[in-house]
Amino acid sequence: MMPMQGIRPCNAARGLRWLPALGVLLAVLVLAAGCRRESAEQALRRDVASLQAAIEARDAGAVAKFLADDFIGDDGLDRDGARRLAAIHFMRNASVGVTTGPLDIRLQGDDHATVRTTVVLTGGSGRLLPDSGRVHAVTLGWRREGGDWRVTSLSRESP
């Protein structure tokens, strides 16, 4: 074999010396993006919207997943009673609509919150106009369990 004389490394090989630095920079950017956490209020707003979607989907089981084990509602309604009540309403109404007013969120630390809003509940046969509609002023107590918010209490009144 003949020795290779006068052959220089190609420009591509010289450019590879920056590859480790580029890899480190990319890793730092990925980690920084992954470290961004949504705020407690953002997570709560997301879960309120998901609860609303579960109601509109007429899914009593999904609604119950948002209720804490120690949930208490008006007139002593517990978690299982709330799930059963939701199932009855969902069976009676072919469609269920939920429209909320602005959310007034009061955080108590990172793990407890109170949400006040007005809610218009509609239900009916699924035609263009609902057969029934009710407006309520609602106050929900929430507690973060793990990474998810759960409803601990609900009180409502007709304005």
pLDDT digits (tens, 9 = 90+) for 72-98: 999 999 999 999 999 998 988 888 888
Identify whether 135 is part of a domain: yes
- Report the pLDDT value the prediction gives residue 80, as an integer from 0 to 100: 96
Residue 34 CB contacts under 8 Å (≥ 6 apart), including other chains: none
Residue 66 CB contacts under 8 Å (≥ 6 apart), including other chains: 47, 50, 51, 54, 149, 150, 151
Identify whether 56 is part of a domain: yes
pLDDT beyond 50 at 29: no
Distance, first Cα to last Cα, the chain? 95
Q: What domain count does the chain have?
A: 1
Using the 8-state DSSP alphabet, how is residue 109 labeled? T
For the chain, give the percent of residues with pLDDT over 70: 70
Contact assessment for residue 151 and residue 67, using Cβ atoms and an 8 Å cutoff: yes
Rg (CA), the chain: 27
Summarised one tens digit per residue, pLDDT across range 38-78 is 799 999 999 999 999 999 999 999 999 999 999 999 999 99
Dist CA 144 CA 92 (whole Å): 32
Identify whether 95 is part of a domain: yes
CATH number of the domain to which 98 belongs: 3.10.450.50
Predicted TM-score (pTM) of this structure:
0.71
Identify whether 19 is part of a domain: no
Identify whether 26 is part of a domain: no
| Mean pLDDT score, 18-41 | 54
Which of 16-30, 95-109, 115-129 holds the top average pLDDT? Answer: 95-109
Count CB atoms within 10 A of the CB of residue 148.
13
Cα–Cα nearest to 68, from 137, 144, 119: 144
Mean pLDDT of the chain: 80
Find the domain containing 142 and state its range.
40-157
Dist CA 121 CA 50 (whole Å): 16
Contact assessment for residue 99 and residue 128, using Cβ atoms and an 8 Å cutoff: no
Place of tokens 């939701």: 86
